[in-house]
Structure 1
Amino acid sequence: MVLPGVYRPQADTQLLAHALAAEIVRPAAEILEIGTGTGALALSAAGRGARVTAVDVSWRAVTTARLNALRRRLPLRVLHGDFTACTHGRRYDIVLANPPYVPAPSRWLPSRGPARAWDAGPDGRLVIDRICASAPGLLRPGGILLMVHSAMCDPDSTLKRLAQAGLAGQTTVRARVPWGPVLRGRRAWLQNQGLADVGEDQEELVIIRAEAL
């Protein structure tokens, strides 16, 4: 179920779901999903017996995730707001993140509207960098961060920031998918920024896996 204006599960959601499926999820493991959208990933984890907290800045997304949890009769704690404020003082075994990562002309994150699900500043890293910095405080020892984003956002920078934060990270999956309408609409700007080549029409997605030491 997807309410109007809520990000629909797409290729990045599917990649993250496959990455989660490859992880051992012990009974009653504590899992956090940042940017839950419809709640699809959070509910997948809840179906494996995990205790899941899902966070989103969109009230429509929060409502959608709660309705989907009711429909599937799965326990899911869904919170509205910024992930750092909603999780203060709590640590998790697994953190899932499908953050906004599409490069955008604006230097600021959108404050409203569906673009909050994808726009993330000129380099696409406004939220990614916050997650990298926050990960050590969110994960228990041995905890795992699974994050998906575009190769346009410089995965090496993500790995470097995670290493500086004390996490051992690696890129575990790479997949190419056709450009969606947002990237197609920004073709000229992306080319001017050096983020896309002329005639390019596919985006590389990556899964970053990092472990708290």
Structure 2
Amino acid sequence: MVTLPGVYVPQYDTQFLMAALDQEEMRPGSDVLDLGTGSGALAVRAAQLGGRVTAVDIAWRAVLTARLNAFLCRQRVMVRREDLTASVARRSYDIVLSNPPYVPAPGGLPPRHGQARAWDAGGDGRALVDRICDAAPAVVRPQGVLLLVHSDLCGTEATLRRLSRVGMRATVSERALVPFGPVVRSRLPWLRERGLIGDGQDREELVIIRAEHA
């Protein structure tokens, strides 16, 4: 995968979600939405599996990167520059994928510009995760599925409860312990002060949340 400067380089969380996608039954022509596509890695994989894929991102560089990677991989992907869930108003999908920003960050609101908006998600890390949960009933078709990856640092149980409140049946389908990346390491003192990381802790848990209509 090619990544232009300032675009999130696919890492373990991307691979983790891709493996979860590979386990889903993808019928030819299934409509797939990749929210916050970044490099387009997940969108390209969904297209390779036979999906009819729409990918969205708010960052122009991400849009260009995803289009370039779809072209290089010879896959048809519709890539749009849009706010995270703007597609909800237009249509619903069989599979909705998202690897959104989920790292808690000092300063309240997520950044509006720069590379950090690919991972910083407000003080509790839920600025984008909560929006995806709230949009799920409209954007996921009655027999469809939402696949969402994030760190336990932003609250796995909070995600399950929020999805349940909007009428989705959600479970943790996969868990993985991974070493802290450079972003988390750079703010360890702040995360410890918030009680999100314990003394001596050097790993975080990533989870795949799988949700369907209840």
Both proteins in one fold, TM over 0.5: yes
Tell me how far apart the structure 2 counterparts of residues 86 and 108 of structure 1 sit (CA, whole Å). 23
Tell me how far apart the structure 2 counterparts of residues 124 and 101 of structure 1 sit (CA, whole Å). 5
Q: Post-superposition shift, 1:86? A: 3.6
Q: Post-superposition shift, 1:142? A: 1.3
- Measured on the aligned residues, the alpha-carbon RMSD in Å equals 0.9
Tell me how far apart the structure 2 counterparts of residues 97 and 155 of structure 1 sit (CA, whole Å). 15
Q: Does the Cα contact within 8 Å between 2:38 and 2:65 map onto a contact in 1?
A: yes
Structure-2 residue corresponding to 1:91:
92
Tell me how far apart the structure 2 counterparts of residues 6 and 59 of structure 1 sit (CA, whole Å). 10
Q: Does the Cα contact within 8 Å between 2:101 and 2:119 map onto a contact in 1?
A: yes
Q: Does the Cα contact within 8 Å between 1:176 and 1:205 map onto a contact in 2?
A: yes
Structure-1 residue corresponding to 2:169:
168
Tell me how far apart the structure 1 counterparts of residues 122 and 172 of structure 2 sit (CA, whole Å). 23
Structure-2 residue corresponding to 1:141:
142
Gaps of 5+ in 2: none
TM-score (norm 1): 0.98
Gaps of 5+ in 1: none
Tell me how far apart the structure 1 counterparts of residues 46 and 7 of structure 2 sit (CA, whole Å). 20
Describe how 1:61-72 pairs up with structure 2 within 5 A: 61-72=62-73
Q: Post-superposition shift, 1:46? A: 0.3
Identity, in percent, stands at: 55
Q: Does the Cα contact within 8 Å between 1:37 and 1:62 map onto a contact in 2?
A: yes
Tell me how far apart the structure 2 counterparts of residues 137 and 15 of structure 1 sit (CA, whole Å). 25
Secondary structure (helix, strand or coil) at the match of 1:83 reads coil
Secondary structure (helix, strand or coil) at the match of 1:17 reads helix
Q: Does the Cα contact within 8 Å between 1:79 and 1:86 map onto a contact in 2?
A: no
TM-score (norm 2): 0.97
Per-residue CA distance 1:127-176 (angstroms, 9 max, x = gap): 00000000001011011000000011111111111111111110011101
Q: Which amino acid aligns with 2:99?
A: N
Q: Which amino acid aligns with 1:166?
A: G
Q: Post-superposition shift, 1:87? A: 3.9
Structure-2 residue corresponding to 1:123:
124
Secondary structure (helix, strand or coil) at the match of 1:126 reads coil
Structure-1 residue corresponding to 2:180:
179
Q: Which amino acid aligns with 2:50?
A: G
Q: Does the Cα contact within 8 Å between 1:179 and 1:201 map onto a contact in 2?
A: yes
